[in-house]
Protein backbone atom coordinates (compact mmCIF):
# COMPACT_ATOMS: atom_id res chain seq x y z
CA UNK A 1 0.00 0.00 0.00
CA UNK A 2 1.04 3.64 -0.41
CA UNK A 3 0.09 7.17 0.70
CA UNK A 4 -3.19 7.08 -1.26
CA UNK A 5 -4.53 4.44 1.15
CA UNK A 6 -4.10 6.51 4.33
CA UNK A 7 -7.42 6.30 6.19
CA UNK A 8 -6.86 9.79 7.60
CA UNK A 9 -6.82 11.44 4.18
CA UNK A 10 -9.61 13.95 3.61
CA UNK A 11 -10.43 16.10 0.61
CA UNK A 12 -11.13 19.83 0.27
CA UNK A 13 -14.23 18.64 -1.57
CA UNK A 14 -16.93 17.92 1.02
CA UNK A 15 -17.54 14.17 1.25
CA UNK A 16 -20.03 12.46 3.57
CA UNK A 17 -18.51 9.60 5.57
CA UNK A 18 -21.06 7.21 4.03
CA UNK A 19 -20.30 8.30 0.48
CA UNK A 20 -19.16 5.61 -1.96
CA UNK A 21 -16.50 7.96 -3.28
CA UNK A 22 -14.09 9.32 -0.67
CA UNK A 23 -10.57 10.41 -1.61
CA UNK A 24 -9.33 6.86 -0.93
CA UNK A 25 -11.46 5.48 -3.78
CA UNK A 26 -10.66 7.39 -7.02
CA UNK A 27 -12.77 5.29 -9.42
CA UNK A 28 -12.84 5.81 -13.18
CA UNK A 29 -15.81 6.32 -15.48
CA UNK A 30 -17.08 8.09 -18.61
CA UNK A 31 -19.53 10.99 -18.50
CA UNK A 32 -21.03 13.84 -20.48
CA UNK A 33 -22.92 16.91 -19.20
CA UNK A 34 -26.71 16.55 -19.31
CA UNK A 35 -26.81 19.57 -21.56
CA UNK A 36 -24.65 17.76 -24.10
CA UNK A 37 -20.95 17.74 -24.89
CA UNK A 38 -18.03 15.43 -25.47
CA UNK A 39 -17.46 12.22 -23.54
CA UNK A 40 -14.55 12.50 -21.09
CA UNK A 41 -12.82 10.28 -18.55
CA UNK A 42 -13.63 11.26 -14.99
CA UNK A 43 -13.21 10.21 -11.39
CA UNK A 44 -15.73 10.64 -8.58
CA UNK A 45 -15.27 12.49 -5.30
CA UNK A 46 -18.25 12.69 -2.97
CA UNK A 47 -21.28 13.89 -4.95
CA UNK A 48 -19.13 15.27 -7.77
CA UNK A 49 -17.59 14.13 -11.02
CA UNK A 50 -14.04 15.39 -11.63
CA UNK A 51 -13.24 15.72 -15.35
CA UNK A 52 -9.69 14.46 -15.91
CA UNK A 53 -9.50 15.80 -19.47
CA UNK A 54 -9.75 19.38 -18.21
CA UNK A 55 -7.05 18.71 -15.62
CA UNK A 56 -4.84 17.27 -18.33
CA UNK A 57 -5.44 20.31 -20.57
CA UNK A 58 -4.38 22.50 -17.65
CA UNK A 59 -1.07 20.64 -17.42
CA UNK A 60 -1.74 18.91 -14.11
CA UNK A 61 -0.58 15.55 -15.49
CA UNK A 62 2.60 16.94 -17.07
CA UNK A 63 5.60 14.78 -16.30
CA UNK A 64 3.51 11.62 -16.03
CA UNK A 65 3.02 8.77 -18.49
CA UNK A 66 -0.24 10.29 -19.75
CA UNK A 67 1.28 13.60 -20.84
CA UNK A 68 0.48 14.11 -24.52
CA UNK A 69 -1.57 10.92 -24.83
CA UNK A 70 -5.09 12.43 -24.77
CA UNK A 71 -6.33 9.27 -22.97
CA UNK A 72 -8.70 11.33 -20.81
CA UNK A 73 -10.41 12.71 -23.95
CA UNK A 74 -11.41 9.20 -25.12
CA UNK A 75 -15.09 8.10 -25.13
CA UNK A 76 -14.19 4.91 -23.22
CA UNK A 77 -11.63 3.87 -20.62
CA UNK A 78 -9.94 1.38 -22.97
CA UNK A 79 -6.95 3.56 -23.86
CA UNK A 80 -6.27 4.27 -20.19
CA UNK A 81 -6.79 0.63 -19.26
CA UNK A 82 -4.26 -0.53 -21.86
CA UNK A 83 -1.44 1.49 -20.24
CA UNK A 84 -0.83 -1.00 -17.44
CA UNK A 85 -0.58 -0.99 -13.67
CA UNK A 86 2.39 1.37 -13.33
CA UNK A 87 0.49 4.08 -15.22
CA UNK A 88 -2.72 3.48 -13.27
CA UNK A 89 -0.90 3.91 -9.96
CA UNK A 90 0.83 7.08 -11.12
CA UNK A 91 -2.47 8.65 -12.24
CA UNK A 92 -4.12 7.67 -8.95
CA UNK A 93 -1.32 9.35 -6.97
CA UNK A 94 -1.61 12.62 -8.94
CA UNK A 95 -5.39 12.75 -8.43
CA UNK A 96 -5.07 11.94 -4.73
CA UNK A 97 -2.57 14.77 -4.17
CA UNK A 98 -4.70 17.28 -6.09
CA UNK A 99 -7.78 16.48 -3.98
CA UNK A 100 -6.22 16.37 -0.51
CA UNK A 101 -7.35 18.86 2.10
CA UNK A 102 -3.89 20.41 2.32
CA UNK A 103 -4.02 21.04 -1.47
CA UNK A 104 -7.02 23.38 -1.20
CA UNK A 105 -4.71 26.24 -2.24
CA UNK A 106 -2.97 24.16 -4.89
CA UNK A 107 -3.13 23.95 -8.68
CA UNK A 108 -6.75 22.71 -8.68
CA UNK A 109 -8.25 23.84 -5.39
CA UNK A 110 -7.06 27.44 -5.83
CA UNK A 111 -7.89 27.73 -9.54
CA UNK A 112 -11.53 28.85 -9.47
CA UNK A 113 -12.06 28.73 -13.23
CA UNK A 114 -10.60 25.24 -13.58
CA UNK A 115 -12.44 24.01 -10.50
CA UNK A 116 -15.78 25.30 -11.77
CA UNK A 117 -15.21 23.69 -15.14
CA UNK A 118 -13.85 20.32 -13.98
CA UNK A 119 -15.80 19.65 -10.76
CA UNK A 120 -19.42 18.94 -11.69
CA UNK A 121 -22.36 17.79 -9.55
CA UNK A 122 -23.43 14.23 -10.30
CA UNK A 123 -26.98 15.58 -10.75
CA UNK A 124 -25.77 17.46 -13.81
CA UNK A 125 -24.09 14.61 -15.70
CA UNK A 126 -25.01 11.48 -17.62
CA UNK A 127 -22.78 8.50 -17.01
CA UNK A 128 -21.96 6.26 -19.98
CA UNK A 129 -20.95 2.62 -20.40
CA UNK A 130 -17.33 3.00 -19.27
CA UNK A 131 -15.68 0.30 -21.38
CA UNK A 132 -15.84 -0.93 -24.95
CA UNK A 133 -16.29 -4.62 -24.11
CA UNK A 134 -15.01 -6.98 -26.79
CA UNK A 135 -15.57 -10.30 -25.01
CA UNK A 136 -17.58 -11.36 -21.99
CA UNK A 137 -17.04 -14.49 -19.91
CA UNK A 138 -19.41 -15.47 -17.11
CA UNK A 139 -18.01 -17.76 -14.43
CA UNK A 140 -19.86 -20.00 -11.99
CA UNK A 141 -17.57 -19.55 -9.00
CA UNK A 142 -19.77 -19.52 -5.89
CA UNK A 143 -19.83 -22.91 -4.19
CA UNK A 144 -22.95 -21.99 -2.21
CA UNK A 145 -24.79 -20.93 -5.36
CA UNK A 146 -23.73 -24.00 -7.34
CA UNK A 147 -24.70 -26.24 -4.42
CA UNK A 148 -28.13 -24.62 -4.08
CA UNK A 149 -28.79 -25.00 -7.80
CA UNK A 150 -27.62 -28.61 -7.72
CA UNK A 151 -29.93 -29.42 -4.81
CA UNK A 152 -32.89 -27.90 -6.61
CA UNK A 153 -32.35 -29.49 -10.01
CA UNK A 154 -30.68 -32.76 -8.94
CA UNK A 155 -32.35 -33.53 -5.60
CA UNK A 156 -31.39 -37.21 -5.75
CA UNK A 157 -27.79 -36.67 -6.88
CA UNK A 158 -24.63 -34.89 -5.82
CA UNK A 159 -25.23 -31.11 -5.83
CA UNK A 160 -21.86 -30.36 -7.41
CA UNK A 161 -20.83 -31.99 -10.66
CA UNK A 162 -17.47 -33.86 -10.54
CA UNK A 163 -15.42 -31.10 -12.20
CA UNK A 164 -16.70 -28.17 -10.12
CA UNK A 165 -14.16 -28.41 -7.27
CA UNK A 166 -11.27 -28.78 -9.72
CA UNK A 167 -11.70 -25.85 -12.10
CA UNK A 168 -13.55 -22.52 -12.46
CA UNK A 169 -16.56 -23.37 -14.64
CA UNK A 170 -17.59 -20.64 -17.12
CA UNK A 171 -19.34 -19.91 -20.39
CA UNK A 172 -18.94 -17.18 -23.01
CA UNK A 173 -21.67 -14.54 -22.81
CA UNK A 174 -22.86 -11.84 -25.18
CA UNK A 175 -20.82 -8.61 -25.04
CA UNK A 176 -23.20 -6.60 -27.26
CA UNK A 177 -25.97 -6.68 -24.65
CA UNK A 178 -23.80 -5.55 -21.71
CA UNK A 179 -25.60 -2.32 -20.78
CA UNK A 180 -25.13 0.60 -18.43
CA UNK A 181 -26.81 0.56 -15.04
CA UNK A 182 -30.16 2.34 -15.27
CA UNK A 183 -31.02 0.94 -18.69
CA UNK A 184 -34.47 -0.68 -18.67
CA UNK A 185 -34.76 -4.44 -19.19
CA UNK A 186 -37.34 -5.58 -21.74
CA UNK A 187 -38.86 -8.93 -20.76
CA UNK A 188 -37.55 -11.51 -23.25
CA UNK A 189 -39.50 -14.06 -25.25
CA UNK A 190 -38.45 -17.59 -26.08
CA UNK A 191 -39.18 -21.30 -26.02
CA UNK A 192 -40.18 -22.90 -22.74
CA UNK A 193 -41.49 -26.31 -21.82
CA UNK A 194 -43.46 -27.17 -18.71
CA UNK A 195 -42.48 -30.50 -17.12
CA UNK A 196 -45.84 -32.06 -17.97
CA UNK A 197 -46.20 -30.52 -21.44
CA UNK A 198 -45.80 -32.81 -24.48
CA UNK A 199 -44.00 -30.12 -26.49
CA UNK A 200 -42.41 -26.69 -26.03
CA UNK A 201 -44.31 -23.44 -26.53
CA UNK A 202 -43.29 -19.89 -27.43
CA UNK A 203 -44.06 -16.85 -25.33
CA UNK A 204 -42.90 -14.35 -22.72
CA UNK A 205 -40.50 -15.47 -20.02
CA UNK A 206 -42.46 -15.93 -16.80
CA UNK A 207 -39.42 -16.65 -14.62
CA UNK A 208 -37.28 -13.54 -14.96
CA UNK A 209 -34.48 -13.33 -12.43
CA UNK A 210 -31.49 -11.23 -11.32
CA UNK A 211 -27.98 -12.47 -10.51
CA UNK A 212 -25.73 -10.67 -8.04
CA UNK A 213 -22.25 -10.69 -9.61
CA UNK A 214 -18.97 -8.81 -9.65
CA UNK A 215 -17.26 -7.99 -12.91
CA UNK A 216 -13.49 -7.97 -13.48
CA UNK A 217 -12.34 -5.60 -16.26
CA UNK A 218 -9.14 -6.55 -18.06
CA UNK A 219 -6.58 -3.80 -18.56
CA UNK A 220 -3.49 -4.72 -20.57
CA UNK A 221 -4.12 -8.15 -22.11
CA UNK A 222 -1.88 -11.11 -22.92
CA UNK A 223 -0.68 -12.36 -26.31
CA UNK A 224 -2.24 -15.30 -28.09
CA UNK A 225 -0.51 -18.48 -26.93
CA UNK A 226 0.72 -16.86 -23.70
CA UNK A 227 -0.85 -18.21 -20.50
CA UNK A 228 -1.10 -15.86 -17.51
CA UNK A 229 0.18 -17.35 -14.27
CA UNK A 230 -2.12 -17.32 -11.28
CA UNK A 231 0.25 -15.12 -9.27
CA UNK A 232 0.68 -12.56 -12.08
CA UNK A 233 -3.02 -12.40 -12.95
CA UNK A 234 -3.82 -9.24 -10.98
CA UNK A 235 -1.35 -7.25 -13.11
CA UNK A 236 -3.87 -7.66 -15.95
CA UNK A 237 -6.87 -6.41 -13.94
CA UNK A 238 -7.81 -2.72 -14.21
CA UNK A 239 -10.66 -2.92 -11.72
CA UNK A 240 -14.03 -4.24 -10.63
CA UNK A 241 -17.65 -3.23 -11.14
CA UNK A 242 -21.05 -4.54 -10.10
CA UNK A 243 -22.81 -6.83 -12.57
CA UNK A 244 -26.41 -8.01 -12.76
CA UNK A 245 -26.56 -10.87 -15.27
CA UNK A 246 -30.33 -11.00 -15.79
CA UNK A 247 -31.62 -14.49 -16.43
CA UNK A 248 -34.78 -15.96 -17.99
CA UNK A 249 -34.93 -19.14 -15.93
CA UNK A 250 -37.76 -20.87 -17.79
CA UNK A 251 -36.01 -20.36 -21.12
CA UNK A 252 -32.75 -21.51 -19.55
CA UNK A 253 -34.27 -24.71 -18.14
CA UNK A 254 -35.37 -25.84 -21.60
CA UNK A 255 -32.34 -24.74 -23.63
CA UNK A 256 -29.26 -25.27 -21.47
CA UNK A 257 -28.83 -29.04 -21.90
CA UNK A 258 -26.35 -30.14 -23.07
CA UNK A 259 -24.36 -26.98 -23.89
CA UNK A 260 -25.26 -24.15 -21.54
CA UNK A 261 -27.04 -20.77 -21.35
CA UNK A 262 -27.79 -18.95 -24.61
CA UNK A 263 -31.03 -16.98 -25.09
CA UNK A 264 -31.70 -17.13 -21.35
CA UNK A 265 -28.73 -14.83 -20.77
CA UNK A 266 -28.08 -12.90 -23.98
CA UNK A 267 -30.74 -10.18 -23.66
CA UNK A 268 -29.18 -7.98 -20.93
CA UNK A 269 -26.26 -7.78 -18.50
CA UNK A 270 -26.13 -4.59 -16.40
CA UNK A 271 -22.81 -2.97 -15.43
CA UNK A 272 -22.31 -0.19 -12.88
CA UNK A 273 -20.76 3.00 -14.33
CA UNK A 274 -17.70 3.34 -12.09
CA UNK A 275 -14.71 0.99 -12.28
CA UNK A 276 -13.09 0.53 -8.85
CA UNK A 277 -9.37 -0.18 -9.22
CA UNK A 278 -7.52 -2.92 -7.38
CA UNK A 279 -5.43 -0.15 -5.81
CA UNK A 280 -8.53 1.23 -4.10
CA UNK A 281 -9.43 -2.26 -2.85
CA UNK A 282 -5.95 -3.17 -1.57
CA UNK A 283 -6.65 -2.38 2.14
CA UNK A 284 -9.51 -4.91 2.04
CA UNK A 285 -7.57 -7.86 0.67
CA UNK A 286 -8.41 -11.10 2.48
CA UNK A 287 -8.30 -14.86 2.17
CA UNK A 288 -11.04 -16.83 0.44
CA UNK A 289 -12.65 -20.15 1.35
CA UNK A 290 -10.43 -23.18 1.97
CA UNK A 291 -10.18 -25.17 -1.26
CA UNK A 292 -10.47 -28.93 -0.90
CA UNK A 293 -9.26 -30.81 -2.85
CA UNK A 294 -6.17 -28.72 -3.44
CA UNK A 295 -6.27 -27.22 -6.93
CA UNK A 296 -3.83 -28.29 -9.61
CA UNK A 297 -0.52 -26.43 -9.58
CA UNK A 298 -1.48 -23.78 -12.18
CA UNK A 299 -4.44 -22.70 -10.00
CA UNK A 300 -2.60 -22.40 -6.67
CA UNK A 301 -2.33 -18.86 -5.29
CA UNK A 302 0.62 -17.95 -3.08
CA UNK A 303 -1.11 -14.83 -1.69
CA UNK A 304 -4.59 -13.74 -0.65
CA UNK A 305 -6.44 -12.95 -3.85
CA UNK A 306 -9.90 -11.78 -2.89
CA UNK A 307 -11.44 -8.78 -1.14
CA UNK A 308 -13.91 -8.10 1.68
CA UNK A 309 -16.66 -6.42 -0.36
CA UNK A 310 -20.14 -6.22 1.18
CA UNK A 311 -22.89 -6.82 -1.36
CA UNK A 312 -26.63 -6.11 -1.15
CA UNK A 313 -29.71 -6.66 -3.33
CA UNK A 314 -32.68 -4.28 -3.17
CA UNK A 315 -36.09 -4.74 -4.79
CA UNK A 316 -38.76 -2.10 -5.42
CA UNK A 317 -42.14 -2.94 -6.97
CA UNK A 318 -44.45 -0.42 -8.61
CA UNK A 319 -46.53 -0.41 -5.40
CA UNK A 320 -43.62 0.49 -3.11
CA UNK A 321 -42.41 3.97 -2.11
CA UNK A 322 -38.81 2.84 -1.54
CA UNK A 323 -36.65 -0.16 -2.23
CA UNK A 324 -36.25 -3.02 0.24
CA UNK A 325 -33.17 -5.04 1.10
CA UNK A 326 -33.92 -8.66 0.22
CA UNK A 327 -30.48 -10.28 0.44
CA UNK A 328 -26.85 -9.58 1.35
CA UNK A 329 -23.64 -11.36 0.45
CA UNK A 330 -19.88 -10.79 0.18
CA UNK A 331 -17.38 -11.04 -2.65
CA UNK A 332 -15.05 -13.11 -0.46
CA UNK A 333 -17.57 -15.97 -0.42
CA UNK A 334 -16.44 -16.91 -3.95
CA UNK A 335 -14.70 -20.29 -4.03
CA UNK A 336 -12.69 -19.48 -7.18
CA UNK A 337 -10.99 -16.06 -7.07
CA UNK A 338 -10.26 -13.69 -9.96
CA UNK A 339 -6.63 -14.79 -10.28
CA UNK A 340 -7.66 -18.42 -10.64
CA UNK A 341 -10.33 -17.44 -13.16
CA UNK A 342 -7.77 -15.59 -15.31
CA UNK A 343 -5.16 -18.36 -15.03
CA UNK A 344 -7.71 -20.97 -16.08
CA UNK A 345 -9.13 -18.78 -18.87
CA UNK A 346 -5.69 -18.32 -20.42
CA UNK A 347 -4.11 -21.73 -19.76
CA UNK A 348 -4.96 -22.76 -23.33
CA UNK A 349 -3.22 -19.66 -24.67
CA UNK A 350 -6.48 -17.71 -24.99
CA UNK A 351 -5.69 -14.01 -25.34
CA UNK A 352 -7.59 -11.64 -23.06
CA UNK A 353 -7.87 -8.13 -24.46
CA UNK A 354 -8.27 -4.66 -23.03
CA UNK A 355 -11.89 -4.17 -21.99
CA UNK A 356 -12.78 -7.83 -21.64
CA UNK A 357 -15.33 -8.49 -18.90
CA UNK A 358 -15.06 -11.53 -16.63
CA UNK A 359 -18.11 -11.87 -14.38
CA UNK A 360 -17.95 -13.91 -11.19
CA UNK A 361 -21.22 -15.75 -11.51
CA UNK A 362 -23.93 -15.42 -8.87
CA UNK A 363 -22.40 -14.69 -5.44
CA UNK A 364 -24.31 -16.50 -2.71
CA UNK A 365 -23.32 -17.07 0.89
CA UNK A 366 -23.98 -19.71 3.55
CA UNK A 367 -27.32 -18.40 4.87
CA UNK A 368 -30.82 -18.16 3.43
CA UNK A 369 -30.51 -14.37 3.49
CA UNK A 370 -27.21 -14.53 1.56
CA UNK A 371 -28.61 -15.91 -1.68
CA UNK A 372 -27.76 -14.01 -4.86
CA UNK A 373 -30.74 -14.83 -7.10
CA UNK A 374 -34.51 -15.07 -6.90
CA UNK A 375 -34.21 -18.71 -7.97
CA UNK A 376 -32.51 -19.42 -4.64
CA UNK A 377 -34.44 -16.94 -2.49
CA UNK A 378 -37.75 -18.52 -3.59
CA UNK A 379 -36.17 -21.99 -3.69
CA UNK A 380 -37.22 -22.97 -7.20
CA UNK A 381 -40.34 -20.77 -7.09
CA UNK A 382 -41.86 -22.67 -4.13
CA UNK A 383 -41.35 -20.07 -1.35
CA UNK A 384 -42.25 -16.50 -2.39
CA UNK A 385 -40.42 -13.69 -0.64
CA UNK A 386 -42.67 -11.29 1.26
CA UNK A 387 -42.17 -7.54 0.86
CA UNK A 388 -42.94 -4.76 3.33
CA UNK A 389 -46.05 -3.56 1.44
CA UNK A 390 -47.60 -7.03 1.34
CA UNK A 391 -46.45 -7.90 -2.18
CA UNK A 392 -44.90 -11.31 -2.80
CA UNK A 393 -42.41 -12.38 -5.44
CA UNK A 394 -41.21 -15.72 -6.78
CA UNK A 395 -39.72 -14.04 -9.83
CA UNK A 396 -39.63 -10.51 -11.23
CA UNK A 397 -42.80 -8.75 -12.42
CA UNK A 398 -43.00 -5.94 -14.95
CA UNK A 399 -42.29 -2.65 -13.19
CA UNK A 400 -39.95 -4.21 -10.61
CA UNK A 401 -36.63 -2.43 -10.05
CA UNK A 402 -33.58 -4.32 -8.81
CA UNK A 403 -30.60 -2.43 -7.37
CA UNK A 404 -27.24 -3.96 -6.46
CA UNK A 405 -24.90 -2.16 -4.06
CA UNK A 406 -21.40 -2.95 -2.87
CA UNK A 407 -18.79 -1.40 -0.60
CA UNK A 408 -15.72 -2.04 1.55
CA UNK A 409 -15.87 -0.53 5.03
CA UNK A 410 -12.73 1.32 6.13
CA UNK A 411 -11.89 3.33 9.22
CA UNK A 412 -14.11 6.38 8.84
CA UNK A 413 -14.68 5.89 5.11
CA UNK A 414 -16.03 3.35 2.64
CA UNK A 415 -14.96 2.32 -0.84
CA UNK A 416 -18.23 2.02 -2.75
CA UNK A 417 -19.17 0.88 -6.23
CA UNK A 418 -22.24 3.05 -6.85
CA UNK A 419 -25.56 1.47 -7.80
CA UNK A 420 -26.21 -1.13 -10.46
CA UNK A 421 -29.90 -0.91 -11.25
CA UNK A 422 -32.50 -1.96 -13.81
CA UNK A 423 -36.29 -1.89 -14.18
CA UNK A 424 -38.31 -4.62 -15.92
CA UNK A 425 -40.48 -3.46 -18.83
CA UNK A 426 -43.23 -5.46 -20.55
CA UNK A 427 -42.16 -7.38 -23.65
CA UNK A 428 -42.19 -5.69 -27.05
Query: For residue 410, what are the domain limits?
Result: 136-425
Confidence of residue 272 (pLDDT cuts 50, 70, 90): very high
329 shares its domain with 401: yes
97 shares its domain with 180: no
Determine if the pTM surpasses 0.95. Answer: yes
Choosing from 40, 145, 344, 345, which is the catalytic residue?
A: 145
Residue 257 predicted with pLDDT over 80:
no
Q: Which of 103, 128, 153 marks a domain boundary?
A: 128
103 shares its domain with 143: no
166 is a catalytic site residue: no
CATH code of the domain covering residue 221: 3.90.850.10
84 shares its domain with 147: no
85 shares its domain with 163: no
pLDDT, tens digit, 9 for 90 and up, residues 202-256:
999 999 999 999 999 999 999 999 999 999 999 999 999 999 999 999 999 999 8
pLDDT, tens digit, 9 for 90 and up, residues 25-41:
999 999 999 999 999 99
Identify whether the C-beta of residue 244 lies closer than 8 Å to the C-beta of residue 260. no
Q: Which of 128, 148, 181 marks a domain boundary?
A: 128
8 shares its domain with 154: no
pLDDT, tens digit, 9 for 90 and up, residues 48-58:
999 999 999 99
pLDDT, tens digit, 9 for 90 and up, residues 70-101:
999 999 999 999 999 999 999 999 999 999 99
pLDDT, tens digit, 9 for 90 and up, residues 282-329:
999 999 999 999 999 999 999 999 999 999 999 999 999 999 999 999
8 shares its domain with 76: yes
124 shares its domain with 181: no
Amino acid sequence: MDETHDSKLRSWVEVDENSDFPIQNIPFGIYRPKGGGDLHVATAIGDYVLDLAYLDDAGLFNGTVVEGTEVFHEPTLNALMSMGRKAWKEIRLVISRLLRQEASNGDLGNNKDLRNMALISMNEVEMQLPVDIGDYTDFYSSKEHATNVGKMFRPDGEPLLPNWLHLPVAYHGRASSVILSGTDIVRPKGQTKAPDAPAPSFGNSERLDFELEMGVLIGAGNSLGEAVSVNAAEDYVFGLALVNDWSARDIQTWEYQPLGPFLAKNFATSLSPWIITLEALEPFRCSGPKQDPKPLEYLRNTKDSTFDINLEIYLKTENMDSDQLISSSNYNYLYWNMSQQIAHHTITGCNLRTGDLLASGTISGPGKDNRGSMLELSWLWTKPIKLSNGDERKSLDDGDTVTLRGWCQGDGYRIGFGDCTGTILPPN
